[in-house]
């Protein structure tokens, strides 16, 4: 269920982008161009290894997202304030997870 929804959502968004950019209407009616970037997908092995090292399983919708891109930057204006969806390696770093294997 999540896999199909995530795929359709990301695919639909990517089809609307021109040179990784999209015109949106923001606050107070202001129209601005924002950027998007998507990392390469995480492998199933990388996701499972993360879960093993972290000691918990990621939510199914985030697992599905990682299969499509291992992190992304969304709605990036040219002055900062974008939404960052972290790579698995960034999540590990923020959680202080160390791989001793």
81 in Cβ contact with 19 (< 8 Å) = no
What are the tokens at 84?
């960052």
Average pLDDT along the chain: 90
> Contact 73/36 with Cβ under 8 angstroms?
yes
Burial of 50 (0-12, 13-18, 19+ CB in 10 A): buried
Helix (H, G, I), strand (E, B) or coil at 13: helix
pTM of the model: 0.80
Q: What is the pLDDT of residues 8-43, one digit of tens each?
A: 999 999 999 999 999 999 888 989 999 999 999 999
| Terminal Cα-to-Cα distance of the chain (whole angstroms) | 34
- Place 81 in a pLDDT band, splitting at 50, 70 and 90: confident
Q: Which sequence spans correspond to the domains of the chain?
A: 2-86
């Amino acid at each position: 269920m999540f896999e199909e929804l995530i795929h359709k959502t990301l695919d639909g968004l990517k089809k609307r982008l021109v040179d990784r950019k999209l015109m949106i209407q923001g606050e107070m009616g202001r129209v601005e161009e924002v950027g998007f970037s998507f990392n390469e997908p995480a492998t199933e092995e990388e996701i499972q290894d993360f879960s093993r090292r972290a000691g918990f399983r990621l939510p199914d919708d985030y697992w599905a997202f990682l299969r499509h891109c291992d992190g992304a930057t969304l709605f990036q204006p040219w002055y900062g304030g974008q939404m960052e969806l972290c790579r698995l390696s960034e999540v590990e770093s923020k959680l202080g997870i160390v791989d001793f294997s």
